[in-house]
Structure 1
Amino acid sequence: MSTQGHGLRDRTAVAGVGWTPYSKNSGVSTLELALRAVSAALSDAGLDLRAVDGLVTHSVGDSVPAAAVAASLGVRDPKLLLDLNGGGSMSSGAVGAAAAAVAAGQAETVVVWRSLNARSEFRMGGTGRAAPTLVEFQYQVPYGLLTPPQQYALVGRAYLDRSGATAEDLGRVAITQRAHASLNERALMRTPLTMDQYLGSKWIAEPLRLYDCCLETDAAVALVVTSAERARDLAKPPVLIASAATGGGHSFFSNGYTDLSTSAARAMAPRLFGAAGLGPQDVSVAELYDAFTPLVLMQLEDYGFCKPGEAAGLVASGATALGGELPVNTHGGHLSEGYVHGLNHAVEAVLQLRGQAGARQVQDADVALVTGQPGYVSGVTSALILRRDS
């Protein structure tokens, strides 16, 4: 496929991936987690530390900065050093930034990572930390709107009301992904989940039950991004970055977006697919950001896999399960594998496109969609299209 005139299309590749164990208490710092994941990714690519000349990470004030990781790796004069502000919303954006730098010749070997002790140390929305430095937060605190489950409960209710989806439809998302996680040795939650267990679980913030919510996790994951040509000479089959895109979104629900039932991904998706020269019909496997179950249903619609209101039926049909026409979150996702703020979705997509996902391998997987948080609260979203090298 020609890349001329198409920006990033297929000019760069993911050459290596790495991760630490997923746990509830890592027992080490976010710096140590980052170094372990980065080292694993470089080893996977067949590279040593001396190859790294660029570093990109994203965080929400909960992790070690890129400069500290660079110094610890011995990168004295990094050609690229980026600390992006954003949790899952910038996970795909971080990979896109690395790809853009490599394509522009700014750096040759860029490591992208996310490292966090989100269970043992820095709980998202936890009361043991300072309030976010956001102007709008002062208007939420008096009403008790403090945590992501509360914020996304508003989104989930809006979606259910608009689409007609039910609690059982949300449950099918969680149950399907748990079945995928049962085949994934990295996953924190591998015991099969039944509908009775789902419906009987405690409320977190209605309409969200316990199993509608992601797992706060201690872990780090990393990817090595380099040119497509160079990646072909390395240890593992390259996974090409066909496109990367960022978009806007609802910013704490008061920046002009009035319909919470539709995400910013809907506006971004045509740009993402257009840049790759592909469409939703070309996607073999979708790793959709799933901090909460309603987001999976919403993204199936917003990325064009089905019409508005039809996502629940798509999941109920078995289409999103392994063996279905569009397997979704084949590793178990944030709901059952672990929550590494979106970047673990990219790792799973790479393994699928390499044909190295073991028992959960999607047959003939050649194109993967990887999405970040679809634009709620943060006011930004991002996504990637990756494809197998031909």
Structure 2
Amino acid sequence: MANLSGRTAIVGIGATEFSKASGRSELQLACEAVVAAIADAGLQPGDVDGMVTFTAESSAEIHVARNTGIGDLSFFSRVPHGGGAACGTVAHAAAAINAGLAEVVVCWRAFNERSGERFGLGQASRPMDTSADRAAYSWMTPFGLSTPAQWVGMFARRYMHEYGATSEDFGRIAVLARARAATNPKAWFHGRPITLEEHQASRWIAEPLHLLDCCQESDGGQALVVVSAERAKDLPQVPAYVVGAAQGSGRDQHMMTSYYRPSISGIPEMGLVGDRLWAQSGLRPTDVRAAVLYDHFTPFVLPQLEELGFCGRGEAASFVADGHLELDGSLPLNTHGGQLGEAYLHGMNGIAEGVRLVRGTSVNQPGDVDNVVVTAGTGVPTSALILGAR
């Protein structure tokens, strides 16, 4: 596992604006983000020979390549499981470069998730089909478990029961995210912080989740450029080295509904990913200076802290309340505002923020960040990265 560590780096990041109605196609959003990332890296489209995206991405590699000036491709892959794919795209890129399959790999995700297909509507409004996923969901939907918020509500209620967490503990994550977004000009909720009282007063979506426990729906695109560590030395941006990259799917894993395990109050797939990250990198949680944790729903942030070893099982609520996630804390969290505050781009904008933290260019920079951990979607097969300055 150690062979991958430090051998590649993210050298370019690019994004569209984040909106609720982009007014253009998902292909155009993808192309705009890809072109911006390549330019940020100091490269030309013709330098790209590899592309990685999500299975959920609507724009095929060949269309993005043709419309951006990318030529021959020697590597292309896709990663499944929605937001769980985000960091996996970088893992695939790093592995391909390390194996000699490509030299310059673009990772991207683009969608009109607010003005187009809204993922938050869940399964009830989708046409029937005969896929295995749909068959698995058929065990949940008759009982009112149709939407992502409803699925996570089940997990959240059990976590509260086992560990004494409260809605206010979840709300502190939302308040923190919106505080960071309020000072981020690119965030949808720029200039719009919230209080814990406002969180508690927001309407119920699926108890115990309030509206402000749920991430937004966004239109936009985000892309990244990955090259070898050697090539990164000759490019204009400060490299964010891929110190660790891992994917993980836990035993008896389901999509957002892993209710058949002996316990449903943890996310063991993230624990698996964390173990691999620490083994690859030789680092420990105390070596990490900041975190970008996938925050599609606030309750899932707490067990991520536990699974990754930043605190003990059931201790995350106290860890948050004690101020560890503030800018002056031991682990500043989601300095861009996260998906709750900046945009919901399936976690790709979180990777970009990890790069900015290493570069020292975040709008909420908490000082020098030698190492930052970035996670992808939770409740699903997932992935994560450690990005470092060296």
Do the two structures share a fold, i.e. TM-score over 0.5? yes
| One-letter code aligned to 1:14 | I
User: What does 1:149-228 align with in structure 2 at a 5 Å threshold?
Assistant: 149-190=149-190, 191-228=192-229
Aligned match of 1:130: 127
* Counterpart check, 1:381 vs 2:382: yes
Q: 2:254 aligns with which of 251, 254, 269?
A: 251
2:60, 2:286 → 1: CA distance?
Answer: 39
Q: Give deviations 1:85-109, integer Å, cap 9, x for gaps.
A: 2211111111100010011110000
Aligned match of 2:265: 261
152-161 or 218-227, larger mean C-alpha shift: 152-161
Q: 1:362 aligns with which of 348, 366, 374?
A: 366
Aligned match of 2:86: 91
CA RMSD of aligned residues (A): 1.5
1:185, 1:88 → 2: CA distance?
Answer: 24
* Counterpart check, 1:37 vs 2:37: no
| One-letter code aligned to 2:338 | G
Query: Matched residue of 1:299: which SS?
Result: helix
2:309, 2:7 → 1: CA distance?
Answer: 26
| One-letter code aligned to 1:182 | A
1:128, 1:137 → 2: CA distance?
Answer: 13
Equivalent residue pairs, number:
380
1:179, 1:59 → 2: CA distance?
Answer: 33
Cα drift, residue 292 of structure 1: 0.3
Aligned match of 1:281: 286
Cα drift, residue 7 of structure 1: 1.8
Cα drift, residue 243 of structure 1: 1.1
Cα drift, residue 131 of structure 1: 4.9
| One-letter code aligned to 1:334 | Q
1:335, 1:199 → 2: CA distance?
Answer: 16
Cα drift, residue 158 of structure 1: 1.4
299-308 or 66-75, larger mean C-alpha shift: 66-75
2:387, 2:58 → 1: CA distance?
Answer: 27
Matched-pair contact (CA < 8 Å) for 2:47–2:70: no
Query: Matched residue of 2:277: which SS?
Result: helix
Q: Give deviations 1:146-204, integer Å, cap 9, x for gaps.
A: 11111111111111111111111111111011111111111111311011111100000
* Counterpart check, 1:23 vs 2:19: yes
Distance 1:151 1:256, change over 3 A: closer
Distance 1:107 1:271, change over 3 A: same
Query: Matched residue of 2:138: which SS?
Result: helix
Matched-pair contact (CA < 8 Å) for 1:368–1:385: yes
Matched-pair contact (CA < 8 Å) for 1:123–1:216: yes
Aligned match of 2:307: 302
1:112, 1:162 → 2: CA distance?
Answer: 39
Query: Matched residue of 1:56: which SS?
Result: strand
| One-letter code aligned to 2:145 | L
Cα drift, residue 237 of structure 1: 0.8
TM-score by length of 2: 0.94
1:76, 1:48 → 2: CA distance?
Answer: 11
1:108, 1:130 → 2: CA distance?
Answer: 41
| One-letter code aligned to 1:309 | G
Q: Give deviations 1:188-226, integer Å, cap 9, x for gaps.
A: 113110111111000000010000000110011010000
2:86, 2:376 → 1: CA distance?
Answer: 6
| Identical pairs, percent | 44
Gaps of 5+ in 2: none
* Counterpart check, 1:79 vs 2:80: no
Aligned match of 1:315: 320
Query: Matched residue of 1:308: which SS?
Result: coil
Aligned match of 1:140: 140
Where do 4+ consecutive residues of structure 1 move more than 6 Å? none
Matched-pair contact (CA < 8 Å) for 2:160–2:166: yes
2:343, 2:126 → 1: CA distance?
Answer: 22
Query: Matched residue of 1:88: which SS?
Result: helix
Distance 1:59 1:21, change over 3 A: farther
Query: Matched residue of 1:139: which SS?
Result: coil
Query: Matched residue of 1:14: which SS?
Result: strand
